[in-house]
Structure 1
Amino acid sequence: MVEKDAIPQTLLAIWGQSILSEGWTTIPNVLIRSQSLLNISNSELVLLMHLISFIHHPLSQIYPSINLLAERMNQDRRTIQRTMKRLEDKELVRKRIRSKGS
């Protein structure tokens, strides 16, 4: 839960406390305006937005699981993997392997 004092007043005026109490995500307008120029599909852009939503400060590491992303986006795991691969190929994201095993 986000404290009211931490929410910018402009956002509060637009969205209200009840919606923003769970947090919010800042997306650079240049990313949205340059979607066509960057050759980013709608599904790639939405996945990027979900990834960005995990950033909490400038040095944040983003580690959502494929399962979590699939659930959030109402997509099959394989669809998320293919979309992530396209983002990697376009050098918009870099993948780090996390292993729960030894």
Structure 2
Amino acid sequence: MENLSTIDELTYKVEAARLERRNLRARLKAKPKFLPLAECKKWVQAWGRRWESEQEWREWIDMGEKRNAYIPSDPEEYYTRMGVWNGWDDFLFNPPS
């Protein structure tokens, strides 16, 4: 009987490893999930005019400062694709409605 429980334990471990690998692959293939534009604007504007222009935003990104996984590095590209981008002034300065 001891051999059977060893086989069951090995089978369980192999299956757990397969599931873990499958889950990891799925997470790596998944597109990032960014905040909706209104929520993203709240986050950006909570910094209080840290960025005065698109250029300042891009310089900040290039320095590797963006550490929030829910904020796109290129909000213009992402939110344009979503059909909701209204320009950098709107993004940086106009409070969400």
Superposed pair shares fold, TM > 0.5: no
Q: TM-score, normalised by structure 1?
A: 0.27
Instruction: Flag the structure with higher helix content.
Output: 2
